[in-house]
Structure 1
Amino acid sequence: MDTPTYDIAISGAGPAGSALALALARKSPRPRRIALVGPRFAVSRGPATEPNAAIDPRTLALNHGSRVLLEQLAAWPSASADIATVHVSQRGRLGRTLIRHDELEVPRLGSVVGYDDLLSSLHRALLDSGVALIEASPTLTLAAGQVELDLGASRIRSALAVQSDGIRPQGIERQYRQDAVLATVRSARPRPGWAFERFTRNGPLAILPHPHGDDLYGVVWCCPPAEAGRIRALDDKDFAEALYGMFGSRLGRFQPVGDRHVFPLSMHAGPSLINARCVAIGNAAQTLHPVAGQGLNLGLRDVAQLTHVLAPWLARPEADPAGLLAQFARQRRPDRWLTAGITDFLPRVFATGNPLVDHAGGLALLTLDILPALRDPLARHLLQGLRN
């Protein structure tokens, strides 16, 4: 039996890999020559109506640039919650910063969507894209002038391959000794369009508007593993009191909704260029601390840049792609490392427990709030990354 051959094989059908398949299909004269390989394709009838009905507890904060890309791909979920203002503060210290969408001249800073909702929207769009969808967990090997993907019971070949998830990046690693407690809560005094990032000595606490209710908020509470286990085990009343004590009264009292989940936090980053015919994007290139919600946003910028670089090659896939893949890796390097550096620095510097560092952090937040010339470049990077 002949081994099927494709121009591009994408390993990993998560958000980044699925978005890349859609974007490349729009540029390719032969979308059927693009294969997306993943363990399953999640196509549901629509968004979950209750937070605890979702299979995956995660919500995702996508910035304005990511939303524009997904809308262009006709893959934006039907349920989302806009972020117009971000409130950044430090518990127990003076100083705070407000980042507003109108100051940056964008309709919104970002939006929050459910992970499952986004994945279902992407996979529904793929059904009409012409891309070959293959359910498998592949292993990649470089053959003579091609990449081979072992699917277990069969094999496929491609001229080039993209690893988008399923492997951990090899290179730089940091263990934060923090876990993230994920929860959904109902607020007694909701503030539509507001998101909050609060730095504490145990780690950052994010409270984000939820796509399934104006009074609902997604909580990402980062703290040491033992504390995370304790918080997860609290009954609803005690959890609501603990969250109120850590966050304050800006949203009133909280009422927990659904289950709580705990995920360990670490940073891993490796090269984008794996070899002459294979590149890594998204979680296969970098996994970040969730502070500022930059992980998938950075992965979608990988998608946009790789699509731009490969567009001419798709018309002539017999050409050697090595130079283009090297170009992609070179162009993505500054944005990747600056974003990784910011998300690595913030949760560590605010959690030192050193009073001098705490006061300096509060002063920095106050300075950013007073001086737009200092605040806006950081805000724009978090909004859209470094542009080439």
Structure 2
Amino acid sequence: MAEHPAYPVGLRLTGRRVVVLGGGQVAQRRLPALIAAGAGIILVSPEVTPSVQAMADAGEITWHQRAYEEGDLADAWYALIATGDTEANTRASAEAERNRVWCVRSDDADEATAWTPATGHSEGVTVAVLTTDARGRDPRHTAAIRDAVVEGLRDGTLVAPHHRTRTPGVALVGGGPGDPDLITVRGRRLLAEADVVIADRLGPRDLLAELPPHVEVIDAAKIPYGRYMAQEAINNALIEHAKQGKSVVRLKGGDPYVFGRGMEEVQALAEVGIPCTVVPGISSSISVPSAAGIPVTHRGVAHEFTVVSGHVAPDDERSLVDWPSLARLTGTLVILMGVDKIGKIAETLVAHGKPADTPVALVQEGTTAAQRRVDATLATVAETVRAEDVKPPAVIVIGEVVEVGPTAGALRK
């Protein structure tokens, strides 16, 4: 048998009986895929790991709490033999052979009638890698090949052209806080497949350099606005390119729905019947403090955090923020787009009861090579911003968590 390569095939196990012998680590790793395939799973084992126990408790598998017995593989379509008892494994393997049940053995691949490939998934595609020669089976090598192919498909470095007509539409992609490595794998893949990318100033710029030459990149800040408001002009640009049958990505900084006006764009597209996919991004409200060594929550310090926009001053009639209530909270306050208004914000918080010595951290250009952190208090933050020449984009963190990290207070002014 070792002289011939394995024949690759995809098993459709939905509703079909699959027997797993053994409830240890091998079963724990293999069961999720069998469950996802819709198999009717019978697990036979005196003991199981806590994770396997949870699957049984949830009704995802049927667990017979005993050792293997002759006849357990009757009517099975597929079997996974993974007990720690070699003699039981041999008997079960022999039963599988007699009943013509394809059987995987974790302890002896040469005695199995089937091998489990190293598998991975990417947007409707399953990648399965098998070693063709039983005498030279190297699971680490096949796993490495699997990982390389899947990662390439996910991040767009391995581009597989679509030969069927793609449905034109728009994807709102959250690019994360700035570091190009912090975009989601789905967002990176959609970028690689785009015909047009309309990018925000705060989107991860380095990602644009990776795009193929044919991709049209449009800077949202430079779209001619004419008689239109800026957002309306961006909406029109999305609609125009999508109506031309193109795949359009709207690349935003952070998350599209966290002060990103993403819903306005979704609504504009929906009004003209253009499909839109929203891909969440890592919000700078959490990731930038984290990159600067600040946890927005910490046991015994803060059980809550609140994120607000600071682009409108507290005394502006357009403000929708209840600043007096925020001043009374004991948790963490994260302010986005508030650098130029921080003096008025700090004054308002103190006026409504927030201690003037409450720690404040400003993290400029978070997660990028230009990141820097400046510490202050509510009493000193306005002057500190001027003295340190803090510029947007910067995330402002107010609360005791500022002084939790190992470098806390090092730059406090």
Query: Which is richer in strand?
Result: 1
Higher radius of gyration, 1 or 2: 2
* TM value normalised by structure 1: 0.22
Query: Which is richer in helix?
Result: 1
